[in-house]
């Protein structure tokens, strides 16, 4: 039987909320696509990200959302059901780290702002010391990134789903802007050179 993100997300109270808004029938037939194993589409999307948001739940029941960022592809793909990333030192509150000890469930949001695409993932989180699995640590650790890794988080997929692009405002990183304007700059240099040559010819039509 196919396993879908909504099998996890939709609870009786969620179903009640959908019913109250007349939306309960919309999702009844949306369980026919398996989402408990990443396809090449999801894997390529994950590999291209340089940030994501991860949500956890505390022992008091309060949710907590944290931003994680790093070099492009820092969220590593171990296989089509497993991800991992090096957890680098930040403000040292360790809220997510502590929450995952009591409850290993997490929800990740990965967003491609220029293309207005969003992938949401339910995962189970396992905290590992840096020396627990040296092979995996070497695979996950980004040696060129100037930050201190404190632990490894290994994440096991439960289910994923894609969100619609509605209300996602396109935003661009410095690298993406630079890449887009480079051809324009090159063309501008070419035009300025041609313009200077034409001005020189007009000043001296005979070539003297």
Residue 133, token pair as written in the block: 């699995």
Gap between the Cα atoms of 102 and 59, Å rounded:
7
Mean pLDDT rounded to a whole number for the chain: 90
Task: Indicate the burial class of 160 (C-beta count within 10 angstroms; 0-12, 13-18, 19 or more).
Answer: buried
- Whether 160 and 183 map to the same domain: the answer is no
- Whether 8 and 105 map to the same domain: the answer is no
Domain interval for residue 41: 35-168
Q: What are phi and psi of 170, to 5 degrees?
A: -60, 130
What is the pTM for the complete model shown? Answer: 0.84
* DSSP structure string for 3-36: --HHHHH--HHHHHHHHHTT-TTTTTT---S--S
- Whether 182 and 161 map to the same domain: the answer is no
- Whether 42 and 21 map to the same domain: the answer is no
- Whether 81 and 118 map to the same domain: the answer is yes
- Whether 91 and 117 map to the same domain: the answer is yes
Total domain count, the chain? 3
Write the secondary structure of 133-166 as one string of H (helix), E (strand) and C (coil). Answer: CHHHHHHHCCCCCCCCEEEEEEEEEEEEEEECCC
Q: Is it the case that residue 29 has pLDDT exceeding 70?
A: no
Q: Which residues contact 38 (CB under 8 A, 6 or more apart)?
A: 46, 77, 80, 81, 157, 160
- Whether 116 and 177 map to the same domain: the answer is no
Q: Residue 32's pLDDT is what?
A: 56
- Whether 26 and 50 map to the same domain: the answer is no
- pLDDT-derived band at 27 (thresholds 50, 70, 90) equals confident
- Whether 163 and 208 map to the same domain: the answer is no
Q: Residue 7's pLDDT is what?
A: 86
- Whether 29 and 39 map to the same domain: the answer is no
- Whether 163 and 87 map to the same domain: the answer is yes
123 beta partners: 106, 157
Q: What's the half-sphere exposure (Cβ side, CA atoms, 13 Å) at 61? A: 0
Q: Is it the case that residue 57 has pLDDT exceeding 60?
A: yes
| pLDDT one-digit tens code per residue, 125-184 | 999 999 999 999 999 988 888 889 999 999 999 999 998 888 899 999 888 899 889 999
- Whether 81 and 156 map to the same domain: the answer is yes
């Amino acid at each position: 039987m196919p396993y879908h993100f909504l099998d996890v997300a939709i609870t009786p109270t969620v179903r009640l909320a959908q019913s109250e808004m007349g939306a309960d029938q919309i999702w009844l037939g949306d369980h026919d696509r398996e989402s408990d194993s990443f396809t090449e589409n999801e894997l390529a999307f994950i590999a291209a990200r340089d940030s994501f948001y991860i949500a956890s739940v505390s022992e008091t029941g309060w949710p907590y959302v944290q931003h994680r960022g790093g070099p492009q592809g820092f969220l590593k793909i171990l296989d089509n059901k497993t991800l991992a990333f090096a957890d680098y030192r930040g403000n040292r509150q360790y809220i997510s780290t502590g929450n995952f000890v009591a409850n290993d469930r997490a929800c990740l949001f990965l967003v491609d702002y220029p293309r207005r695409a969003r992938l949401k993932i339910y995962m189970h989180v396992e905290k590992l010391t840096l020396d627990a699995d040296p092979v995996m640590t070497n695979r996950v650790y980004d040696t060129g990134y100037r930050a201190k890794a404190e632990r490894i988080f290994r994440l096991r997929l439960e289910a994923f789903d894609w969100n619609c692009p509605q209300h996602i405002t396109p935003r661009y990183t410095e690298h993406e802007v630079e890449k887009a304007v480079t051809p324009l700059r090159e063309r501008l240099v070419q035009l300025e050179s041609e313009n200077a040559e034409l001005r020189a010819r007009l000043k001296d039509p005979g070539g003297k």
